[in-house]
Structure 1
Amino acid sequence: MKYKAIVIGTSAGGIEALKIVLKDLEPTIELPIIIVIHIKERTDGFSKIYENLNKLTIKEAEDKEEIKNGVIYFAPSNYHLSIEDDYTFSLSVEEKVNYSRPSIDILFKSAAEVYTDNLLGIILTGANSDGALGIEKINKLGGKCIVQDSEEAYFDTMPRAALKYVSTCDVMSLDSINRYIKKIGGNNCE
């Protein structure tokens, strides 16, 4: 399977989980990594948190910005992030979904529509069910789903909710998810 994008959703415990998932990624990664994390603070500080972990460009997604390979994008706090058919981002301040803005479901569903079977969706630790419907959409359109092992998740609600909707998701540790991204990112094949 050839991937064209990776989407990751996380909530409580996600900052620490992402430190493992994003560790030692090289600029040879031939696809974008787009992340929604539920956090009340501004997300422009994420580049500082993760800049020493890998060699990829890390930035906050901007409205109408063209999506580029080898970049890690974070959804801005208090904005829903969607992907448009022309491979650009769209930001909105519509109603919260699952008590959250940004919503993982909104990102995942829009990404599934655009990338269809070339999408990898990953759900990490979190304390609500946001992302479960998005994972279901990714799976329905032929993409691949990975869920963090609930045994190691800081909060297991989000991984368990995703598995309730798509029982065929691969369940992996954070280290295994990191290795998988490295494996598919360089030569971009499974």
Structure 2
Amino acid sequence: MKVLRNALLGVMTVAAVLTASTAAYAEPAPAPTSEAARPAVEAVKPQRPEGKPKIQSGLPVRALNADGNFYVWSDDMNKALLYTDDAYTGWPSGWNNTVDVVWNNGYPGPYDDVNIYDYAPWSGSAYACIGNGDYWDLRRTDINYVFSWVNDGADEWQREPLGRRVHDNGSGHIWVDWCGNNNR
């Protein structure tokens, strides 16, 4: 039995060495020749405010690693909600227009930014977008977090919140691929 085991280990070792040496001399992957896969206009994520973000209001302090959640804190409710998914139809009863802090601790990659909507359901209303890894203390008066965008075809009442501060005005959110106009 030991002879058979040693023979199998020897064959596996030789196979691993041959595979590694073949991979070391393999041709590099060809560079893409078509620009068709790239969007016509690349979105630029808003820059994080200067200085270290400070976790306040009892938000759960986690390691710097992403945990896949979007956190919503309300002083009025004295607690935080966390979401791994969208809140298309709005935050729970009592949370609309009471949010003081938001934190996007989602995983980097596709759909890693979050639109915060003035009115839920989200379709068409004004929204602000928080980038991946960003933390917004909406109570701060030195930084103006506002609803910056609205989808094309929005009605007048849906455009009304443009420029309004997000603090105590958000009502729902969805995960999006990038921050910008018509990003969903």
Fold shared by both chains (TM-score > 0.5): no
**Relative contact order (alpha carbons < 8 A, sep ≥ 6): 1 or 2 greater?**
1
Higher helix share: 1
If you compute each CA radius of gyration, which structure gives the higher value, 1 or 2? 2
Q: Return the TM-score normalized by structure 2.
A: 0.28
